[in-house]
Structure formats: structure tokens, C-alpha cells
Structure 1
Amino acid sequence: VLACASVAAASDLIASNRIKVQLFAAPAFFSEVSVDVYDNKCLSLDNNLIDGRVQSILVGGHDVSAVLSRADYWYCQFFDNYECKIQSGDQYLTFADGVNNLASIGWGTRIHSLQCFN
């Protein structure tokens, strides 16, 4: 079993043109999707099993410790539409590190796309 396990290097998570974002549905560790988001490109979650189910997010790491030890300028915006469009201030959230329990702020079923910037 251990021979099949792999550890992601920091270079796999963050590059100058791409960052890996972990999206978790409830219950958190039963439904996790890892996506590569390219700098200033919209990534739609349409046709993705986690679409509309994101409860927690980690940007640039697989755990809180790795995310908090990052020394870069990446941040991501998460949208309630599939086109990464901003028509009003309540249509997106911005995080540089991550967030837990999006349902507590009414966003438990609203994330449909994301865009990250370096």
C-alpha cells in the first residue's frame, strides 16, 4: 500500500503560472477535488462532481500548515456563476489561503467557478 502512496512536492502545487486548489465538499475528506488553476484564467466547475457543493478550500497546499507557510502572492476568487463574472460585490469571495465552512456565510452551494492571480 505504501508503495502506491505519493507525496506532492511544493513545485507540484505552485508554479509561476499555475496553482493547485483543493476543494472539499461536506463531509470534508470524503469528497475532495484538486484542480490546477492557471494565472488569470477562469476555471468553471460545470460538469464537475463538486460543483455547487464546495464547503472548504485550501489554496496552494494539501493541508493548513502547507498553505500557511507559503511565501507567494497568489490569491483566488470564487464565483457564484460559471463565467467568473463580477456584476455585484456579493457574487464572489476572495482568499489567498483558504476557508472552512462556507455554509456558515451562505456560500455552501454557490461556488461554480474560480480564478486565481499571481
Structure 2
Amino acid sequence: MGFKCRELNIRILHEIAATYGRILSEDRRSRLEALGFEWGLRAPPWEKLFAELVRYKDVHGDCNVPYGWPENEKLASWVTTQRTNAVKGNLTDERRQRLKAIGFRF
């Protein structure tokens, strides 16, 4: 496309600002969407890692991600954090139920 990364980032920020200011034309919006631009916010980190845990379970048959698992250290750390949060009472009921529903052991 000929844009340098920085220039592209600035352009995207302008497009987002234009969208929220309601001045982005439908044509410009359609062209950006055709390039794969997504307007929604990214999934929150907890949701992203929960989805990774579900994928882990699909492959391995359980939710017992090994501590320090080199294939996904972030997921391994997150699993430990969920257990710690549960023990300390810092895990919401909704999250606890979702984890239990996939067979997570606290």
C-alpha cells in the first residue's frame, strides 16, 4: 500500500476519530472494512485467556495447564492466578461458574 507503519497508525487513528465523531463516510468505512479493519474493541484479557484455556482443554482433555508451560507461559500463569484469586475470594461468581463449567479444578 505504500504506507510506513507510523503513517498507517496515524491514518487509522484519524479514521477512528472520524468514526466516533460521526464524520467518516460510509464509503470510507466500507473500504476499511474490506481491508479487514475491525471497529469493535478487543476481547478483554480474561476472556481471551479463558478462550485459550478452552482450546487447551479441547486438545489435552483437561484444564491442568502445567506451571510454566513453555508453549504458553501466559496461559500457565493465568491458570495459577485464577486458582489464587479463587482461594482469596477475588474471583467473581460468574467467572468461577464459567471455569467450573469447563472442568477447571480450583
Report the TM-score when normalising by structure 2.
Answer: 0.22
Larger RCO, structures 1/2 (Cα 8 Å, 6+ apart): 1
Say which structure is richer in strand.
Answer: 1
Say which structure is richer in helix.
Answer: 2
Report the TM-score when normalising by structure 1.
Answer: 0.20
Max Rg structure? 2
